[in-house]
Amino acid sequence: MEPLVSLTLRHNQSVFLPGDELDCEYQIDAIGERQIQSIENSVMWYTVGKGDEDLGVHHFERRVANDFPDMDLRELHRFNTTCPASPLSYEGEIVKIRWCIRVRVFRKSGKEILFELPFQIGRVPARGAAAATSPERSTKNVR
Amino acid sequence: MTTSLPLSRDENPFSSIFITPGAQGFMLPNELSWPQLHEKFCEAGRRGTILGEHGVGKTTLLATLIQKWRYFYPHPDAWTICRVQDLHSQSTMNLRQRVAPGGRLLTTLEPDQSISMESLFAQMKQGQIVIIDGFESWPKTVRWRFWRAIRRTQAGLVLTSHKRTPLPTLLHLKPQFEDFERLIDSWQPAVQSIERSVLFDVWKRNEGNPRECLFELYHRWES
């Protein structure tokens, strides 16, 4: 059974402006306390589209089980960072800039589990947001 | 092993990250398996060429071949993978793990660092498998130097090329529409809903070039 990760942005906010505080928390369940070797959480952007991809890491944190007396990384962990001035989220045809919070759980067995929570910086209409409100976009077809 | 979130319906499945060599496994013709291709390679004296035009999937085939043939050549140093960049430069290539949108982990084959011909020759030893992607891009003089050097070694050799080479042809890639359909059917669920008539039109318009077809499908998905 795969572990469960509850990853949330506090206040369930998904759109931020440069300078806003981004508060995030996550908790791991359905896994034994000694089974996690380390956890990495990052706040990052990446490009996706037709050309070469790029990415940048704005905030990074690594927690290693051996650094904790009880070696238990499952408990609720909070972190926060300030949203930068750039790059802003962007949804173009050729290139898109996406922001996300990424949590990577490295198990002692060697397996890696990865979770992502997308969010937006700037008031750029996100394609994902449009899909949630527009029924025609949720049944996309290539014609 | 990873778990990942499903790809959002709105994520373009034809973005570079999903079509870059390695992101989708290469599908051999139905009558051929990876061990059979390896057998053919051994019968040919562990040297051969993968032939095919631009965009038919030669590098994608290499990305899959490296992973499938690891069973036969498990030592990490057994492989030298090289891509010819232009007339006088080449770079090593490596399989790299990348995270695609939605948290999906992909293994892709990407250029790493440039390598001189001398360093390349020094790596060609017995037991090695040397792969040269885009062999025909080297000028005649460089190809001649390469043949001279490889003749002195017992290294295995796989070339990809648009034209025939002095080595036996392991596989001549000439994809048909049915192969393209098979590829699409094996893709993400969102892609499988594309109508066959649309796929066929795209295929005809791009004269049966899979890469050009995927580029067109990218734009159609966006529109």
pLDDT digit string, tens, across residues A2-43: 788 899 998 888 999 999 999 999 999 888 878 899 999 999
Rounded Cα gap, residues B125 and A100, in angstroms: 45
Please report residues of B whose CB lies closer than 8 A to that of A51.
16
CB contact under 8 A, A116 and B10: no
CB contact under 8 A, B8 and A128: yes
The verdict on A115 touching B (C-beta cutoff 8 Å) is: yes
Cβ neighbourhood burial of A104 (10 Å; 0-12, 13-18, 19+):
buried
The least confident of A99-108, B67-76, B186-195 is B186-195
Smallest CA–CA distance, residue A46 to chain B, in Å, is 9
CB contact under 8 A, B5 and A116: yes
Smallest CA–CA distance, residue A23 to chain B, in Å, is 21
pLDDT over threshold 90, residue A110? no
Average pLDDT of chain A is 84
Give, in degrees to the nearest 5, the angle at Cα A122 between A119 and A125: 75
Give the mean pLDDT of A82-99: 94
Q: How confident is the model at residue B79 (pLDDT cuts 50, 70, 90)?
A: very high
pLDDT over threshold 90, residue B124? no
**What chain A residue is nearest to B218 in terms of C-alpha separation?**
A50
Q: Which of residues 34-73 of A touch B (CB under 8 A)?
A: 46, 48-53
Closest CA to B58 of B184, B165, B174: B174
Residues contacting A6, CB < 8 A, separation 6+: A26, A27, A29
Strands B79-86 and B129-133: parallel
pLDDT over threshold 90, residue B92? yes
Contact B29, A65 (CB under 8 A): no
- Position A37 scores a pLDDT of 92
Q: How confident is the model at residue B168 (pLDDT cuts 50, 70, 90)?
A: very high
pTM of the predicted model as reported, rounded to 2 decimal places: 0.82
